[in-house]
Amino acid sequence: MKIGIRISTTVILAAAACSQAAWAGSWLLGFSPADTVAPGSFGAIAGTGGQWSSVGDPRRDSFTPFLAHAGIRTGLSDDWDIGYRLATIALPFSSVGPGLGAEVDVKHRLTDTASAWQSALVAGIGYAYLELQGQSRNAWSPGVDWVLSRSVAPGYTVFSDLRYVYTAIPSASGGTSANHFEAFGPGVGVKIKLKKNVSLTPEIGVFDFNGSMAGQRANGFGVQYGAVLGFAF
């Protein structure tokens, strides 16, 4: 029996999903309440969003209006599911062009299904190719996310999440020590049931960025926004 929120460990594997899921490379939005996909069931998502950031000293703004992503998720047990997602990745630096990334994540619900408030932990790792100063580079990103959600009306579930992500670009000049960033911050969203197996989930988040590009410190903040359609089957 579960009493309130129980403590547990989460193991991650990498990327994505439907009722949705985790965090990705530089995709910091999860687009998901705390509930998990039922065992033997599947969910899929497709959507887009964007990112605006201001980093460095002096500050430099960077805006990527469209970051498409899609994924699939399946239940492992009553409280665990796993997902895989493909996403366009945008780091908060004007010198880094968007690239294609993938992530796997594992999600664990911490609360009983009968609880009014639901809570979950998500952990995952992503991998991406990025254009850095005209050259293709690889980046990897482990991260964790804590999700809190509550149903507020039939067909409407509001949620908030708190996410931490670390991204390293080991193939860039100077290696990981000179090319990395951390992102930390909250997001809020709502899952809206459109039909029995179809939902719409918009979300927005604000994040603190701390990092280095080519050995130069590039701290600042950013905003991400987006929406996905979810399908259960």
Q: What is the pLDDT of residues 87-98, one digit of tens each?
A: 766 566 545 555
**With the C-alpha atoms ordered 29, 31, 36, 40, is the resulting torsion angle positive or negative?**
negative
pLDDT in tens, 135-168: 667 888 899 999 999 999 999 999 999 999 998 8
pLDDT in tens, 117-131: 999 999 999 887 766
pTM, 2 dp: 0.82
Question: Is the separation of the CB atoms in 110 and 139 below 8 Å?
Answer: no
Which residues in the chain belong to E strands, given as ranges? 42-55, 60-64, 69-75, 80-89, 96-97, 99-109, 117-132, 135-153, 156-168, 180-195, 198-213, 216-217, 220-232
Domains of the chain (ranges, CATH numbers): 42-232 (2.40.128.90)
